[in-house]
Amino acid sequence: MKKSHGPKTLAYPLPAWLVGTYDENGAPNIMTAAWAGILASDPPVIGVSIRPSRATFDGITLHKAFTVSCPSAALAVETDFAGIVSGRMHDKFREAGLTPAKATLVNAPYVEECPVVAECRLLKTLELGSHVLFAGQILDVKAEEGVESENGSLDVPRIDPLVYSSAGYFRLGEFLGPAFSIGKKLVKAVPQPEQ
Amino acid sequence: MKKSHGPKTLAYPLPAWLVGTYDENGAPNIMTAAWAGILASDPPVIGVSIRPSRATFDGITLHKAFTVSCPSAALAVETDFAGIVSGRMHDKFREAGLTPAKATLVNAPYVEECPVVAECRLLKTLELGSHVLFAGQILDVKAEEGVESENGSLDVPRIDPLVYSSAGYFRLGEFLGPAFSIGKKLVKAVPQPEQ
């Protein structure tokens, strides 16, 4: 039996990504975004929704570029910090003890300590009331060499991604099975899978 | 040291949500969407990106409505199945043993077995190449009574949300701390938090 909770932003799970930008003087900033996700495959597009009051909003608007750094569970405290204070008043990289690295393909900084980062060129925006969605074309993904599996793909347990879900932060737990695979037991005739 | 992996849709973690729609005859359909997330707070907006070839694309376009059902880890097989086959050829609810429930505020079905569901009215669309982003205003969230904590809020461990991350499906693991809280230890002067 389901009970109504009203029009709220309750959905599980969510990411807690660090969005990196430069300000007008080239100073690096980050903010934590849970209103974020992949938006398309071809071209690869990632989306982050930002309030116009944020320093990050100005940084993306100015440089038409941002990065998304995916933190590991070990960075839960730093990630929460970057969602609490404003880049207008704080040097969040320095105060969190994080290292800004200049992206190679866009004019934005990423977080060196994060295992996986995406460099994005602003493609489109969508106004949605409280937030503006910035859709960024992913020009490159960079990952720590230590999080690759033997076949060169990225290994999720080695990334140990931080997961956000209303109450707080979690790490990943039990592996339940591979995608486009465990569901086949319910299929009688399988058309081509397509993401 | 980071290594380039090229322009790919690699980001961690991602959701694996079930998007519910009716077709032109009122038949219920679901598809699995990992290209999805919350997009705004006020109004509350959720986004799902869908290929134009999908039956779900037609359903949203026709009825200007969809639901997002968040599966628990126990529904990993059913969720993977709904991402493998097409609603044009399969009655995915029936074949997966899932129950379609009519949303109360929009013309779309949700998955009764999912612990948390959102009823959404189509607000805006954004064309992004391979996919079209459908931004839906959340008119109501419904949750199983069993996943509420004592104070009436939703309890993440009781929801036991399914998490998707390239290689496959995971459940949540260790709780690392509450949001807008664990990062305060790095703050000297705290402005108002704001999502």
**Phi-psi map region of A160: left, alpha, beta (phi>0 left; psi -120 to 50 alpha):** left
**Given an 8 Å threshold on Cβ–Cβ distance, is A172 in contact with B96?**
no
pLDDT at A150: 85
Tell me the pLDDT tens digit for each residue of B55-87.
999 999 999 999 999 999 999 999 999 999 999
Q: Distance between terminal CA atoms of chain A?
A: 32
Of A59, A154, B59, B92, which Cα lies nearest the Cα of B48? Answer: B59
Q: How far apart are CA A73 and CA A147, in angstroms?
A: 14
Unique residue bearing structure tokens 């295992």: A115
- ipTM for the predicted complex comes to 0.94
Instruction: Say if CB A12 and CB A97 are below 8 A apart.
Output: no
Query: Comparing C-alpha atoms, which of B81, B97, B36 is closest to residue A177?
Result: B81
CA separation for the pair A44, A49 (Å, rounded): 17
Q: CA end-to-end span of chain B, whole Å?
A: 32
Count other C-beta atoms under 10 Å from residue A95's C-beta.
Answer: 15
Output the CA angle B141-A166-A136, nearest 5 degrees.
Answer: 90
Residues in chain A where the model's pLDDT stays below 70: 189-195
User: Computed from CA positions of residues B142, B144, B150, B156, in that sequence, does the dihedral angle turn out positive or negative?
Assistant: negative
pTM of the model: 0.95
For residue A39 the two structure tokens come to 């938006």
Amino acid letter, residue B146? G
Q: For the structural domain made of B17-186, what CATH number should be given?
A: 2.30.110.10
Contact B116 A183 (CB under 8 A): no
Nearest CA-CA distance, residue A25 and chain B, Å? 23
Q: Is A150 on the interface with B (CB under 8 A)?
A: no
Give the 3-state secondary structure of residue B12: coil
CB-based contact A40 B7, cutoff 8 Å = no
Regions of chain B where pLDDT drops below 70: 189-195
Give the Cα separation of B79 and B73 in Å (integer). Answer: 9
Looking at the complex, report in whole angstroms how far the Cα of residue A173 sits from the nearest Cα belonging to chain B: 4
The answer to whether residue A184 neighbours chain B at the CB level (below 8 Å) is yes
- Partners of A41 in the beta sheet? A44
